[in-house]
Amino acid sequence: MIATLTLNPAIDQTVTLDALNPGSVHRARSVWSDAGGKGVNVACCLADWGLPVSATGVLGQDNAAPFEQVLAAKGIDDRFVWIPGQTRTNLKLLDAGTAETTDINLPGLEFGPSTLEAVRAVLSELAQDGSLVVLAGSLPRSAPPDTYARLTGELRARGARVVLDASGPALAAALAAGPGALPQAIKPNRHELEEWAGQSLTDPAALLDAARRLQASGIALVCVSLGEDGALFVSGDGALRALPPATEIASTVGAGDALVAGLVAGLHDGLPLPDLARRALAFAAGKLSRTGANLPGREAVEAIAQSIRVESLT
């Protein structure tokens, strides 16, 4: 069983520009919207791969239709809790010349303890011994920073394996939890790992050392996403870096979420570390060729995985 949690979902509105010039008037090439949020994006990619997945979290009832539609279209088990109000809309400005995206994230829905309890009840139904649960994305301002830490402890007590993709105080609280409440896997990017380490990690040796310290603390798998430089993977089986293939980029939106989905798919199948790294990078590269949280066909993703170079690190 695989489940994802998104406490701060968003409708991602992507605006494509010829070039992004701050302070200037722009004419958009195109505009499209996707029901998103990290956990939703992970669920969409896993469903494209062919794995059964449930998605839960909190949605505003006034604009829940886009989420209902995408979850139904991909065959995802919709277990979201609805509350009054509107789910936020995030703006993503895509520079067609550089393929870089500028994010403008709006405040999320505010909700009280009773809503969080309803979500916890759903998670307790979904979490089984050996199941994979993805806790992903920012927390709404009304949720305490230790929310993921508490949920991880509860899920682990039920025998679930937790994959965490968070940042800032929520990540710091989760990493400071006791041995029984640490996630099995995390996926910070370089900047998020630097925040935790309290130092610059531009030096490859320093980056590897920080990832190894986290792994030694009790996190079975640490994956550090490095954008166009691929990703670093550290587990009890060793450390390696996976390098992405040359890819024609349609949109970078959700590439990190696709990487998480690839990790989960690899953990689901019990892949050894090199193959797990290839699958995770293949998910991310495949998503780059598509807009929205969508993967190409399974055969195409497997072909990408075969082209990914993996370097062992010492």
Active site residues per annotation: 257
Contact 73, 44 (CB under 8 A): no
State how far the alpha carbon of 310 is from the alpha carbons of 120, 172, 242, 256, 264, in Å. Answer: 38, 29, 4, 18, 19
Task: List alpha helices for the chain, DSSP H.
Answer: 38-49, 65-73, 113-126, 147-157, 168-175, 190-197, 204-216, 255-269, 273-288, 298-307
Determine the length of the chain. Answer: 314
Return the structure tokens found at 60: 């505003």
Query: Which residues are CB-neighbours of 84 under 8 A, at least 6 positions away?
Result: 60, 61, 62
Main-chain dihedrals φ then ψ at residue 65, nearest 5 degrees: -55, -45
Rounded Cα–Cα distance for residues 24 and 270 (Å): 50
Q: What's the first-to-final CA gap in the chain, in angstroms?
A: 35
Main-chain dihedrals φ then ψ at residue 81, nearest 5 degrees: -95, 130
Contact 173, 145 (CB under 8 A): yes
Three-state secondary structure call for residue 214: helix
Report the amino acid identity of residue 157.
Answer: A
Give the number of other CB atoms < 10 A from CB of residue 236: 9
